[in-house]
Amino acid sequence: MSKRALNEAISNYEEVFALLKDLALDLAWSWNHSVHLLWKQLDPELWDRTRNPLLVLETVSRERLLRIASTREFKECLRNVLVQHQTEGLLRDAEQLYHLLEQEVKPAFYGRDSSGIPTAWVARMRASMITLTPMFSAYRTVGEYLEQYYKPVALGYERRAADGGLVAKQLAGWLRRIEDTWSSVEILARHSVLHDGLGPDSFWEITAQVHLGALTPNDVLVELFADNRGAAPFRQRMSLDTSVGESNSTYTFKERASAARSASDYTVRVIPRHTEAQVPLETNRILWEK
C-alpha cells in the first residue's frame, strides 16, 4: 500500500478499523512481534495485561484510534506490517497455485488412457458444466426476468385495471400531485449525535426536519444514503418521529447509523413513495440534502 493510499485509509475510521481487524483476526500475524507495537500504541496497559489484539481494537475509542493512527510512528509501523503481510500472502497464494497446477491440473490434463483421452480432465470439465450451466443458461435468465419483472408488472396491470381502472386513476392523481408540489419539498435541517459504545458498537443518531408542503409523510420515503466502495450503496429508511408534532407541514425523521464512518458520509434524501408506483420509472423526482 502506497503512503498516499495509507494516509487516506487512516483518515477514515471504517477503513483503518477494517485494516487492523484483519491483522487481529489473522492468527499468523496477530502474535507477530512486528505488529505488537500497533496494539501497544492503542492501549499500552490493556495490551500488556491481556495480549489480546482484538480486545484492544474493539475497546479503544473512535477518537483515540483516529488520533493515534494519524501519528507518523503509527503510520510507518502499519505500512511496514502491511507490506510484510501482503508479501507473505502473495507467497502463500503462489505456493497454493503451483501446488494446484503440479498436483491436480497437470496430471489431469496430461494423463491419458489407452485411447489417448484425458479421462480425469474430461470428468472435471463435465462436472464444471453440470455446476455452471444452470447459472449461465438462457433458461435461468428468462426465468429471472419472468419472476422479477414480467410477472410483477402483469399483476400490477391487473390491479390498476380492476374496478374500472380505480387504482390507475388514483395513481395518476398522486403522480400529478407529486409533480405540482414537489418544488415545495425541502430539507430544512439535519443533526447528528454520536452515541459511544465499545468500538464498532457506537452509532450516530441522525435527525432531519423535512418540509413537505402539500404532501404527507405517506407520500415520501426519507432515507439515509452513503456510497460503499465496490458494493451497493448504503440505504436506510428514516422513521417519522411521532414524538415531535407536525408544524407548518414540517416533519421530523430520525434513524441510527453505524459510527464506523463519519456523520458527513451520510446524506439525507427524499423520494416519492406509493405502493403502486414504479419509482423512478414513473416519477424520477428526488431531493438531496444540500
CA-based nearest residue to 264, from 222, 212, 219, 225: 225
- Alpha carbons within 13 A on the beta-carbon side of 257: 26
Pairing outcome for strands 234-237 and 220-226: antiparallel
CA-based nearest residue to 207, from 252, 237, 271, 242: 252
| Average pLDDT of span 99-112 | 90
Predicted TM-score (pTM) of this structure: 0.57
Give dist(CA 137, CA 135) in Å, integer: 6
Q: List the domain boundaries for the chain.
A: 1-136, 178-288
Per-chain mean pLDDT for the chain: 86
Look at residue 233 in the predicted model and tell me its pLDDT: 84
Domain 178-288 has CATH 2.20.28: no
Cell numbers for 241, please give them. 418521529
Cell numbers for 239, please give them. 422513521
Cell numbers for 75, please give them. 503510520
Tens of pLDDT along 203-256? Answer: 889 999 999 999 999 999 999 999 876 667 889 999 999 988 888 899 999 999
DSSP annotation of 247 reads B
Alpha helices in the chain (DSSP H): 3-10, 13-25, 27-30, 33-42, 44-50, 53-59, 62-69, 72-100, 106-110, 119-132, 138-145, 151-181
Look at residue 157 in the predicted model and tell me its pLDDT: 95
Which range is most confident: 6-20, 79-93, 139-153, 176-190? 176-190
Tens of pLDDT along 246-256? Answer: 888 999 999 99
Exposed e or buried b per residue across 66-77, where buried means at least 16 C-beta atoms within 10 angstroms of its C-beta? bebbeeeebbeb
Give dist(CA 11, CA 97) in Å, integer: 35
DSSP run (H or E) holding 52 = none
Percent pLDDT > 90 in the chain is 44
Amino acid at 121: W
Cell numbers for 255, please give them. 434513524
* pLDDT band, residue 34 (cuts 50/70/90): confident
CA dihedral in degrees (67, 72, 77, 78; nearest 10)? Answer: 50
DSSP run (H or E) holding 156 = helix 151-181
| Average pLDDT of span 133-155 | 91
